Amino acid sequence: MIQIQNKNLNPIKEQYELANFVIETVSKVNPVLHSDLEYNYPEAWVYLNEYFNGFVYESLYQNLIRGQKVGVYHKQFKPEIVARFFATRIDIIFDGELFPSYEFNFKDIYIEYLMYHMNSIVSDEGKRILNTLDFKLLTNAAR
């Protein structure tokens, strides 16, 4: 993730590259791992949540600030709140009861979650950039 952030891409392109990394990485993990961690390994679950509430939050927060500064994200939201929404609720996409693996795959869930988020924050200029990126084509091997 840090290598992607160090490329100094525009914030939308950075989110696109990060999405590819997440899909590629998480698609290699057994979907049952999430619930196993939560119920059988509470210490590991706490560690994972600290990661989402720390590193993921801070990375997204910085991306949101930068996006507002360069004009690809609108300014009608508070980055510190939106970053918390995204980082702390991302665990819902791993919920096997809500999204059973026989019905949904991780890639589709994650892309929908990310596109819902991106479409709510982009400015008109950002929308033009977003429309040039096809998130559905990310890491086709992750299907």
76-96 confidence digits (pLDDT tens): 999 999 999 988 887 788 888
How distant, in Å, are the alpha carbons of 70, 134, 137 from that of 61? 14, 23, 26
All structural domains of the chain with their residue ranges: 31-129
How high is the pLDDT of residue 130?
95
Look up the pTM and report it: 0.81
Lowest mean pLDDT across 35-44, 72-81, 101-110: 35-44
DSSP state of 56: I
